[in-house]
Amino acid sequence: MRKDLIAACIATVTLGLPAMALPPLQSPRPELRPSANLTIVTASSQGSPLAVSRSLRPLLRSAPQPIVIDAQVAVAQADFAQWQADFRNRALAQGIRPAIFDSAFAGVVVNPRVITRDSNQAEFSRTLWEYLDGAVSEVRIANGRAALARHADTLARIERRYGVEAEVVLAVWGLESAYGAMRGNSDIITAMATLAHEGRRRDFFEAELIAAMRILQAGDVAPRQMTGSWAGAMGHTQFMPTSYLAHAVDFNGDGRRDIWSDDPTDALASTANYLRHHGWTTGQPWGVEVVLPQGFDYSLTGEGTKRGAGFWRRQGVRLTNGAQVPDHGQAAILLPAGHRGVALMIFNNFHVIERYNPADAYVIGIGHLADRIAGAGPFRASWPRGERGLSRAEREELQRRLAARGMHSGTVDGIIGPQTADSVRRFQASVGLVPDGFASLGVLERLR
């Protein structure tokens, strides 16, 4: 079946699919945005492909003007120079050679745009289905199948070596960088040095800087060729430097673990190696769409309730085609949009993808995109598209109100994870609502 799919993909490429697709407006890594020399053409309401084109006319430049140094910038650069000197001592104490450090930091100064982007990341309240509309668009699916045809031999070898299915690796590539089209062009040393000096997450970014210089020290890349997002994620599948050191591989045998070049081989193999390291099970789905029977006990839903296939079969849970649910070990029932949306039975591979990015939307996006690339159809159930997403302030309010009722003991952080979903489920049950754990506006209004 998969040989037939690859053959079909090759035929499709011959017919001329669009060259690339943009990621959803809210990227799984919100720091990753199109580079400045790209012009974005948005899709029509009919869903025509998004396109990216390079400007053919360079920006007009005015005559040279005298340089005026802002006093605050001058002070910041002086502070940065002192931080750099202190950090150099710490880096050398951890085995970084002086020549490597000096080469990495040659010409590096504070980049105020990085600080601005870090402190002004937009608050998104998009729903899961809005996110999936972009993450698993028809264009992205078509481009994934084209990539499967283009890299079939390499992906087959990666799958044999690491046991991670080709379409899963492709889905990560597709969401992280639009199949390599949007890898980011920020200088990694400059970006992370700016963030380390800024101080809000100094320990984290100093550790990543040390890792980045170990990469330079190993000879995998030159300092100014180490590029990526403004927050330090690098290459086709957006590895942070510490993840690179732990999992990057030289799969093409050229002596370097090169995740930055136009050849994605090492990046794709490194991604498969990462997933294998975190427990990927060959042949196990990330999840399957299911239908819950009338009268189902919704208190059994949520990531914390894992049971074997026999248990779920006895509860009347079936696949969307009416068949019995498969036995791939312990599984949970996830209702990412409540009882009025898609119902999923998730397996351990769901949690392996979470190691790449813990957001449920991202994991479902990766899993569903992989399924669609492999030839599966869209979800059968509909989404409650009349619902709007809660803002961060509303999510925090929901957590505070649950805590005030003694139903939530977690942090009030606006993040709706499994613990908050369990708290919502308890509240729903206490007031006679369907206990599906969905943190909706209706639940918040009922709490009010």
What does pLDDT average to in each consecutive run of 10 residues of the chain (448 residues)? 42 32 35 31 32 33 45 75 96 98 96 86 79 96 98 98 98 97 96 93 96 97 95 96 98 96 97 98 98 96 96 98 97 96 98 94 97 98 93 94 93 90 95 95 95
| Interatomic CA distance for residues 431 and 443, integer angstroms | 10
Measured distance CA(103)–CA(434) in Å, rounded: 60
Q: What pLDDT sits at residue 410?
A: 85
* Amino acid residing at 232: G
The C-alpha R_g of the chain, in whole angstroms, comes to: 24
Number of domains composing the chain: 3
Which neighbouring-strand residues pair with 332? 346
407 and 337 both lie in a single domain: no
What number of H helices and E strands is found in the chain?
18, 8
User: 232, 248, 264 — which closes off a domain?
Assistant: 248
115 and 220 assigned to the same domain: yes
User: Would you say how long the chain is, in residues?
Assistant: 448
- The torsion angles phi and psi of 214, rounded to 5 degrees, stand at -65, -35
CA dist 26 and 19 (Å) reads 21
Q: Do 225 and 365 sit in the same domain of this protein? A: no
Domain boundary among 338, 373, 408: 373
205 and 317 share a domain? Answer: no
**Residue-level pLDDT at 431:** 96
Supply the CATH number for residue 85's domain: 1.10.8.350
367 and 302, same domain (yes or no)? yes
Residue 420 lies in a domain: yes
Report the predicted TM-score, pTM, of the whole model to 2 decimal places: 0.82
Same domain, 226 and 82: yes
Give SS3 for 296: coil
| Cα–Cα distance for residue pair 119/341, rounded to 1 Å | 34
| Token pair belonging to 92 | 């050398």
The pLDDT of residue 27 is: 36
Range of the domain at 366: 287-373
Answer with the one of 200, 217, 248 that is the final residue of a domain.
248
Residues 396 and 356 in one domain: no
Answer yes or no: is 316 within a domain: yes
Instruction: For residue 13, report the phi and psi dihedrals to the nearest 5 degrees.
Output: -60, -40
- Residue 50 lies inside a defined structural domain of this protein: no
Q: Are 331 and 346 in contact (CB under 8 A)?
A: yes
Kindly state whether residues 323 and 362 are assigned to the same domain: yes
6 neighbors 146 (Cβ within 8 angstroms): no
Residue 14 domain-assigned (yes or no): no
- The answer to whether residue 34 is domain-embedded is no
One domain for residues 233 and 299: no
Same domain, 326 and 356: yes
**What's 35's DSSP letter?**
-
Q: How far apart are CA 232 and CA 186, in angstroms?
A: 8
**Taken in order 176, 179, 181, 184, is the CA torsion positive or negative?**
positive
pLDDT at 50: 34
Cα(313)–Cα(151) distance, integer angstroms: 39
Residues 397 and 313 placed together within one structural domain of the fold: no
pLDDT value of residue 39: 28
Residue 147 lies in a domain: no
- Residue 70: its pLDDT value, please? 61
Residue 83 phi/psi, 5-degree rounding, is -60, -45
Q: List the one residue out of 70, 89, 68 whose CA is nearest residue 78.
A: 70
Distances (CA, A) of 412 to 307, 359, 393, 419, 423: 30, 17, 10, 11, 12
> Residue 16: its pLDDT value, please?
30
In a domain, 199, yes or no: yes
Give the burial string for 142-151 (b: 16+ CB within 10 Å, else e): bbbbbbbbeb
Do 291 and 349 fall within a single domain?
yes
Q: Is the residue at 280 inside a domain?
A: no
pLDDT of residue 203: 96
d(CA 155, CA 221): 24
